[in-house]
Amino acid sequence: MIPLTFESPAKLNLFLAVTGRRADGFHDLVSVVAPLKWGDTLTAELAEEFSVTSNDPAVPTDSSNLVLKAANVFRRITGYSHGVKFTLEKRIPMGAGLGGGSSNAATALRALNQLAGNPLSLEQLGALAAEVGSDCPLFLNERPMIMRGRGELVQGLPVKAANRISGRKVLVFKPGFGISTPWAYRQLVDKAPTSYVSPLEAENRLATWLESESPADSLLFNSMEAPAFAKYPALPVLLERLRREFGLAVGMSGSGSACFALLEDNSPVEPVTTLICRSWGESALVLQSRLQ
């Protein structure tokens, strides 16, 4: 059998309002998120057992890998009896807020469903994806989405609004260090409770943008910036310079540490990249892509 190959994209949160802590320890949020036309590649071929290997030695190959977690959930629900050898070509860094692990798991679910003859609908796959991780279901859709609940309740953006996002050129940049998502949420509880946005305000802000004709620039907001910026001043210092010196709309994605700038098609990119590399040094990742 020829292995199946799937793109497993990274995502950017353009809007992320954390609205409060829930009884189960997770946080409720309202977010607008878009996949990038850039990410990892996952191949899947029939085998005796479920297994995963990667070009990146830092990626776990045991059951803590979300691809295997997704595969086991798929087997439990569908009774799928074959094994699958997954090979992951990793480009999305970990601890970046770019959703790499969740994307890989969602892509594995799509691959398994195809190999099994599509027994599950998109909605059923979404329920499985939610078991694997809060950010997972959004990756079953290749377009801008609104996320609610702990992230698992997803809905496509109305077409007119999605058109103000899809195809937009972006520069994504991540410093050499990463940020742990559980750490960032804990900080929100302990040190930055003022970063919560009330559910009403979050919905109002989103509705105002949806009803407007404004570009994605005026949507940018992220509650998680407060804890990340307090610990890592290199992030806000650079973002402020990019705003001031280039007039760019910039923000952090998810719980960080990756940040991004929205670009115009004719924006000069090189001076921006030069400033980022000078500020964050050689360990920084900088890449240009477009939103899906």
Interface positions with ligand C5P (CB under 6 A): 26-27, 29, 133-135, 150-151, 181-182, 185
Contact 255/181 with Cβ under 8 angstroms? yes
Could you tell me if 94 and 101 are in contact, meaning their C-beta atoms sit under 8 angstroms apart?
A: yes
Whether 11 is a known active-site residue: answer: yes
**The pair of three-digit structure tokens given for residue 133, joined into one six-digit string:** 């991780």
Tokens encoding 210: 């949806």
* Closer residue to ligand C5P, CB minimum distance, 26 or 232: 26
Nearest distance from C-beta of residue 117 to ligand C5P, angstroms: 29
Do residues 196 and 285 touch, judged by C-beta distance below 8 A?
A: no
Kind of pairing between the strands at 221-222 and 83-89 = unpaired
Indicate the residue among 100 and 251 with the shorter CB distance to ligand C5P.
100
Q: Quick one: tokens of 263?
A: 């670009």
Least Å distance between CB 184 and ligand C5P?
8
Write down the least CB distance from residue 88 to ligand C5P, Å.
18
In the complex, what is the shortest distance from the CB of residue 126 to ligand C5P, in angstroms, rounded to a whole number? 14
Question: Helix H segments across 19-158?
Answer: 66-78, 100-115, 122-132
Cβ-based nearer residue to ligand C5P, 39 or 151 = 151
Catalytic residue from among 28, 40, 90, 135:
135
CA distance 288 to 236: 20
Nearer Cβ to ligand C5P (19/54): 19
- Check residue 88 and give left, alpha or beta (phi > 0: left; psi -120 to 50: alpha): beta
Phi-psi region of 144 (alpha: psi -120 to 50; beta: other; left: phi over 0): beta
Minimum Å gap between C-beta 133 and ligand C5P is 4
Q: How far is the CB of 181 from ligand C5P (least distance, A)?
A: 4
Instruction: Indicate the residue among 126 and 280 with the shorter CB distance to ligand C5P.
Output: 126
Distance CA 220, CA 261 (A): 10
Please give the Cα distance from 247 to 245 (Å, whole number): 6
265 labelled catalytic: no
C-beta of 93 vs 133, nearer to ligand C5P: 133
Of the residues 11, 69, 90, 174, which is catalytic?
A: 11
Rama region for 283: left / alpha / beta (φ>0; ψ in -120 to 50; rest)? alpha
Annotated active-site positions, please?
11, 135
